[in-house]
Amino acid sequence: MKRVFSGVQPTGNIHIGNYLGALKQFVELQEENECIYCIVDMHSITVPQDPKELRKNTLDVAALYLAVGVDPSKSIVFVQSDVPGHSELSWVLTCNSYTGELSRMTQFKDKSKGKESAPTGLFTYPILMAADILLYDTDIVPVGNDQKQHIELCRDIAIRINNKYKKTFVVPDGRFLKAGARIMALDDPEKKMSKSAENIHSRISLLDEPSKIKKSIMRATTDSEGSIRFDPENKPGITNLLNIYSVFSGKDISEIEKDYDGRGYGDFKKDLVEVTVDALTPIKERFNEIRNSEELIKTLKDGAERAGVIAERTMKRVKDNFGLGI
Ligand code: TYM
């Protein structure tokens, strides 16, 4: 049995990119693995947050985990800041990483572009992420393609420490989906779908109303060629919509291409609205049932306790191997 760990930031607007890149995999993996799923609230404070809003978003993401099918009787679900080992290990890893490698992270470069100075937390974000993963002796990390570079850095740090000290960490592997690993913005398929983009029609959030989903899909950017074909180079818009269609319908891209051979974008988009609404409606219904329940809080408290036991064991090993404490 392998250990799986992943996390999502509680920043609101959890969208179908997050779902397809991460949450959907969480559910698949829990059948045959020991899974730990975290709401990474300490990552969220790398940018300013309203405290009330942050706590609301934390509970929203926790309820979404359960609504998409994460089962607390199989998986551990908890909030990052409830287990102190994350920040503790983060410091140890900070002392074994380099400003050069952190400066090369594209996410940091994007977020700090054009600024003379950026928040330190944004710079060290990937180290806290590495701490999350290494704290649980993780074998597999299911994430979207946009996290590849962070996973690579995590592996580099783990290998570096294992070589320098006693073998301390399990070196994890990322798990990325082939099709749909990166869902692009509907209004600009050259950019990834993001929680923070200003245009709400650039994304489909998991809790969007059907009318909003329809509007966003019908106005999604395509091209003037008129054929429904998977071609990321020349047809990024249609390719992105095909990816979304495929994951929500369970059909292969080639099958969808055949179904829509000779048909127009309007038809295809209309059907995609239906496929998407059908997939998201039950998630939204379950979310509404769970969100204000006692059960949710109980699940998170219980999760933090179980995660804490594993985290403490790892921290003891880390401290022993580094000669920290008495
Ligand atoms: P976050 O909250 O930004 O994203 C959560 C997950 O969604 C994936 N994702 C996407 N997948 C496909 N298409 C997109 N457009 C898209 N946008 C986001 C992300 O890859 C991610 O899997 N740094 C992480 C959070 C984190 C974490 C961890 C993950 C913190 N510690 C430890 C795994 C293990 C992040 O980007 O979250």
User: What is the CB neighbour count within 10 angstroms for residue 3?
Assistant: 17
Residue 188 within a domain: no
Which CATH number characterizes residue 279's domain? 1.10.240.10
* Number of compact structural domains in the chain: 2
Residues labelled as active-site residues: 111, 192, 195
Global confidence as pTM: 0.95
Residue 167 shares a structural domain with residue 256: no
How far from 50 is each of 37, 44, 55, 122, 301, CA to CA, in Å?
24, 11, 9, 17, 23
Same domain, 43 and 104: yes
Rounded to whole angstroms, how far apart are CA atoms 75 and 73? 6
Question: Who's near 152: CB < 8 A, 6+ residues apart?
Answer: none
- Distance (Å, whole) CA 130 – CA 122: 14
The response to whether residue 10 sits with its C-beta less than 6 Å from ligand 1 reads no
pLDDT band at 179 (very low <50, low <70, confident <90, very high): low
Expressed as residue numbers, the domain containing 279 is 200-287
pLDDT for the residue numbered 65: 98
- Backbone φ and ψ of 222, nearest 5°: -125, -130
Q: Whose CA is nearest to atom 4 of ligand 1?
A: 8
| Predicted pLDDT of residue 285 | 97
**Would you say residue 180 has pLDDT above 90?**
no
pLDDT, tens only, 302-326: 999 999 999 999 999 999 999 999 9
Q: Is residue 67 part of a domain?
A: yes
**255 pLDDT band (50/70/90 cuts)?**
very high
Q: Whose CA is nearest to atom 5 of ligand 1?
A: 8
Q: How far is CA 1 from CA 66, 130, 233, 323, in A?
A: 22, 22, 39, 31
265: CA distance to ligand 1 center in Å? 30
Q: Which residue's CA lies nearest to atom 3 of ligand 1?
A: 9
Q: Which two tokens stand for residue 78?
A: 């908890």
Mean of the per-residue pLDDT values of the chain: 96
pLDDT at 233 over 80: yes
C-alpha–C-alpha distance, residues 77 and 62, integer Å = 8
Whole-angstrom Cα distance, residue 144 to residue 142?
Answer: 7
Ligand 1 atom at shortest distance from the alpha carbon of 146: 20
Q: Which atom of ligand 1 is nearest to the CA of 147?
A: 20
Looking at ligand 1, which residue's alpha carbon is closest to its atom 19?
A: 144
Instruction: Calculate mean pLDDT across residues 17-42.
Output: 95
Same domain flag for 219 and 308 = no
Residue 192 inside a domain? The answer is no
4 CA → ligand 1 middle, Å: 15
Q: Binding site for ATP, residues?
A: 9-11, 17-18, 144-146, 183, 192-196
- The annotated binding site for L-tryptophan is made up of 132
Which residue type sits at 182? R
Say if residue 165's pLDDT is above 80. Answer: yes
Indicate whether 182 belongs to any domain: no
Atom of ligand 1 nearest to the CA of 129: 31
pLDDT above 80: residue 178 = no
Same domain, 121 and 236: no
